[in-house]
Structure 1
Amino acid sequence: MGLPRRPLPRNSENVSKVLLISSLAPSVNEQITQHAGSDHQVCVQPFDLSADKRNRLLTEHDCLVLFPGVLDDAAVRAAANLQLIQLVSAGYDRINVKLCRDLGVPVANNGGTNSLDVAEHALMLMLSALRRFADFDRFVKAGQWRGIDSGTNTFTLDGKTVGIIGFGNIGRRVAGLLRPFGCNVIFSDAYPPPEEVSAGLGARQVGLEELFAQSDLITIHVPLNDDTRNMVNSDTLALMKPTAWLVNACRGEVVDETALHAALEQRQIAGAALDVLVKEPPPSDHPLLSLDNVIFTPHTAGVTFDSFSRRGEFIFNNIDRVARGEEPLALVN
C-alpha cells in the first residue's frame, strides 16, 4: 500500500519485541504464542490494562498483536514507532487505519486464517434456518415432540440459489462448502476474483440487484466501510423473495436494522440469521429480539479454538517478514 518498510531495530540478542494485548483466555493466547520463535520476545497483557500502562508498553515494543481489534487514537499515536500492528481478527473497522497510515505504521489483519470458521458458521446458519433447528430444540424441550410439521415448512439446501455478497477469502470458502449441497451459487463483489477462480468454485457473478432478487438465501461477507454500510436496506430487502433468508456474519452495520425489522415483522422475507448486530450486546428491548423469524449467535462466527493456531502461525510469520524489511501480508492501510 505504499508505506515505507524498515527492518526492525534489533537488540544485541537479535530479538523482536512483541506485545500481545488480548481479551482471550490464557489457553487461547497460548495457541497464538506457541508459534513465537527464539527470536521473538512476547509480552502478553490483558485487554483491560490501564491506558497509561498500555501506551508505555507500546513505546517499548516493535510489534503489537491485538485482539479484539480495537485501538483508540491516543494509543495509535503512542504506537507511532511500531513496525507493525497485527490484528488477530479480520475486521479493522474499530481502529483508525488512516491515522496509522499517516504515522507510517502498517496495519495487517489475519489474512483470512479464520475464513473457514466463518464460512462453516454461515453454512450452519443457513441449515438452521431451512431446517428450523432452534424451533425443533425448543419444542422438544417443551414436551411438544411434533411441534412443527416438518413436511410443510422445512427445506433442503439442494436446488436453492445462494447469493454470496463479498467473494473474498470467506465468500469463496462458503462457495466451496456449498458445492456438495447441490446449490446454485451466485455472487456479487466490487473486486471479483479471476473468472477461473469463481468457475472453479461453481459460482457465477451477477449484479447486486439480481442477487437480491434471485436468491433463496443471501449471505454477506464484506468489510465494513462507507460503501458497504447499510447496503442491506429497505430498497434491497424489497427485491428479495418472500421465502428468502438473510444471513449476516460480517458486521452489523452493513444492515439497516430498522428496515430489516420492518421486512421481518411484515413477513416481507422469511427470516434472518444474524451473528452480528450494530450494538453488541444488544439491549434487552432491541426490536429484532422479539421476532420469531430471527436466529441469533453472539458474534462468534470466526471464533473457534481451532482457528487461533492458524492465526498465530500467520501472525509470527508476518512479524518475521517485517523484521527482514519485507512488506507484511494482509495490509489494510
Structure 2
Amino acid sequence: MHRVLVAGRLHPAGKALLDARSDIEYEILDTPSAADIVAHMRGVEGVVIRTAPFRAEAIAASNELKIVSRHGVGYDNIEVPALTARGIPLTVIGTVNAVTVAEHALAMMLATTRLIIPYDREMRNGNYAIRESLRMTELEGKTVLIVGFGRIGTRVAKRCNAFDMNIIIADPNVPRRVVEGQGYRFVDDYRDALGEADILTLHMPGNPDGTPVMGAKEIGMMKPGAFLINCARGTLVDEEALVTALTSGHLRGAGLDVTREEPPADDHPLLKLDNVVLSPHSAGSTAECFERMATVSVQNVLDLFDGKLDPNLVINQEVLK
C-alpha cells in the first residue's frame, strides 16, 4: 500500500484518480502549514503539494518518500537540493496551466491600460463623464517586453502578437535564433529594453535567494508611463520601489497576480493604489485548469509508483541518472 499526502485542496478529478487505486491510501490537508506537513509525513511515499512550504524538515520526516509532485509549475516553496540529495524527483505539471496564465496576463494588460476597474466604479457612482477624460490607452502598436520565454511566455507572446504589439523577448535560456525565428526581437539582457517597453510582463522563476529582478534601479530604468505586469512570483519585484514609482507617476499602472507575502497585509500600500489591479495568485485558477492541474499532479505520483514517470516533467533531472 502506497501512502500519499496531498498538501492543499484538490479538485475531485484528482481525488478520483486516487480513489480508483486499491493500492493507495491518501490524506488531504486543505490549508496546511509547514509544521502540519511535517506532522503528517510519517510513512508517506508521495506528496502532491500546492503552495505550502516543503522544506528539509518535511523531507527528512519520511524515510519512504519517493516523489514530490507540484500542483503547478513554480517550485519556490520546495527545498529542491534536499530532495536531490535523497534522489527524490520533483515534478511539475508541464503546459497544462500555460494558456490559463497567459490569458490572465493579457487580462491584466487590458485592465490596466483600459482602466476597467476605475471606469466601472466611476460609472456606478454616476460619473458617466469619465469617458471624456481620455485616460485610457491601446495595446496596438505598443512595445511589450516579455521576460521569460518558456511555457507561459511563449503563449503570452502569441497573444500580444494578435493585438499587433511590438514584442521583445529576454530569456538567457532560449537561443536568439529561436526567438527571432518566430518574428520577435531578442535582447540578451532584459535591462537593455526597459527604457523602450510600454509594458513589461514577467514570466520566470524567482531567484533562489528571494532577491528581486525588478529592484529600485531596474524600475527606475523603465520607460516613464509604462505598465508592469507580474503573474509569476511576488519575489521578482521590489514592492516598495514599485509603490514609489506608481505614486510618483513614473509608472502608469501595474497588474499583479502575486505579492511577496501572500496574502498581503491589510495595510499594504499596493492595496490602496487606484492604478494597481490585483488578483489573489489566481492566474491559473480557472475551473478547467484546476482540474487539469489536479489530474497531472496526482498522475505524476501514480506514474512513479508504476515505473513510468515522464522524465520531461522532472525538475531535478540529476536524480534520474
Of 258-267 and 32-41, the range deviating more from structure 2:
32-41
Q: Which residue of 1 aligns with 2:122?
A: 139
Structure 1 residue 236 corresponds to structure 2 residue 218: yes
Show CA shifts across 1:7-66 (max 9, x none). Answer: xxxx6xxxx5433232x2xxx520323345546625241234698885575343431111
Given the superposition, is the C-alpha separation of residues 136 and 243 from structure 1 closer, same or farther in structure 2, using an over 3 Å criterion? same
Show CA shifts across 1:164-200 (max 9, x none). Answer: 011111111111222211111111012015734x346
Q: How does 1:279-298 map to 2 (within 5 A)?
A: 279-298=261-280
Instruction: Give the number of equivalent residue pairs.
Output: 313
Structure 1 residue 85 corresponds to structure 2 residue 68: yes
Distance, in Å, in 2 between the alignment partners of 1:234 and 1:178 is 27
2:34–2:52 Cα contact (<8 Å) kept: no
Q: Which residue of 1 aligns with 2:98?
A: 115
Distance, in Å, in 1 between the alignment partners of 2:63 and 2:92 is 18
Of 313-322 and 163-172, the range deviating more from structure 2:
313-322
Q: Structure 1 length as normaliser, TM-score? A: 0.84
2:74–2:205 Cα contact (<8 Å) kept: yes
Displacement of 1:312 in angstroms is 3.2
Structure 1 residue 225 corresponds to structure 2 residue 207: yes
Given the superposition, is the C-alpha separation of residues 163 and 54 from structure 1 closer, same or farther in structure 2, using an over 3 Å criterion? closer
1:85–1:108 Cα contact (<8 Å) kept: yes
Structure 1 residue 249 corresponds to structure 2 residue 231: yes
What's the % identity of the aligned pairs? 32
Q: Which residue of 1 aligns with 2:247?
A: 265
1:20–1:42 Cα contact (<8 Å) kept: no
1:173 paired residue among 155, 173, 182: 155
Given the superposition, is the C-alpha separation of residues 134 and 59 from structure 1 closer, same or farther in structure 2, using an over 3 Å criterion? same
Q: Which residue of 1 aligns with 2:29?
A: 46
Structure 1 residue 300 corresponds to structure 2 residue 282: yes
Show CA shifts across 1:103-135 (max 9, x none). Answer: 222111222321111111110000011111001
Given the superposition, is the C-alpha separation of residues 311 and 51 from structure 1 closer, same or farther in structure 2, using an over 3 Å criterion? closer
1:179–1:201 Cα contact (<8 Å) kept: no
2:177 paired residue among 170, 177, 195: 195
2:147–2:202 Cα contact (<8 Å) kept: yes
Given the superposition, is the C-alpha separation of residues 273 and 67 from structure 1 closer, same or farther in structure 2, using an over 3 Å criterion? same
Please tell me the residue identity of whatever aligns with 1:223: P
Q: Which residue of 1 aligns with 2:110?
A: 127
Given the superposition, is the C-alpha separation of residues 221 and 51 from structure 1 closer, same or farther in structure 2, using an over 3 Å criterion? closer
Kindly report the root-mean-square deviation, in angstroms, between the aligned alpha carbons of the 2 structures.
2.5
Q: Which residue of 2 aligns with 1:324?
A: 307
Displacement of 1:245 in angstroms is 0.2
2:6 paired residue among 12, 15, 20: 20
Q: Which residue of 2 aligns with 1:209?
A: 191
Distance, in Å, in 2 between the alignment partners of 1:260 and 1:68 is 24
Show CA shifts across 1:191-243 (max 9, x none). Answer: 015734x3464422113123212211110011112487311012211221112
Q: Structure 2 length as normaliser, TM-score? A: 0.87
Distance, in Å, in 1 between the alignment partners of 2:97 and 2:17 is 16
Please tell me the residue identity of whatever aligns with 1:19: L
Given the superposition, is the C-alpha separation of residues 138 and 55 from structure 1 closer, same or farther in structure 2, using an over 3 Å criterion? same
2:199–2:227 Cα contact (<8 Å) kept: yes
Given the superposition, is the C-alpha separation of residues 139 and 88 from structure 1 closer, same or farther in structure 2, using an over 3 Å criterion? same
Q: Which residue of 2 aligns with 1:58?
A: 41
1:35–1:316 Cα contact (<8 Å) kept: yes
Please list every run of 5 or more consecutive structure 1 residues that lacks an aligned counterpart in the other structure.
1-10
Tell me the secondary structure at the aligned position of residue 58 of structure 1. coil
Of 98-107 and 198-207, the range deviating more from structure 2:
198-207
1:179–1:202 Cα contact (<8 Å) kept: no
Given the superposition, is the C-alpha separation of residues 239 and 55 from structure 1 closer, same or farther in structure 2, using an over 3 Å criterion? closer
Given the superposition, is the C-alpha separation of residues 316 and 300 from structure 1 closer, same or farther in structure 2, using an over 3 Å criterion? closer
Of 128-137 and 109-118, the range deviating more from structure 2:
109-118
Tell me the secondary structure at the aligned position of residue 215 of structure 1. coil
Given the superposition, is the C-alpha separation of residues 208 and 140 from structure 1 closer, same or farther in structure 2, using an over 3 Å criterion? same
Please list every run of 5 or more consecutive structure 2 residues that lacks an aligned counterpart in the other structure.
317-321
1:176–1:201 Cα contact (<8 Å) kept: no
Tell me the secondary structure at the aligned position of residue 34 of structure 1. helix
1:75 paired residue among 45, 58, 61: 58
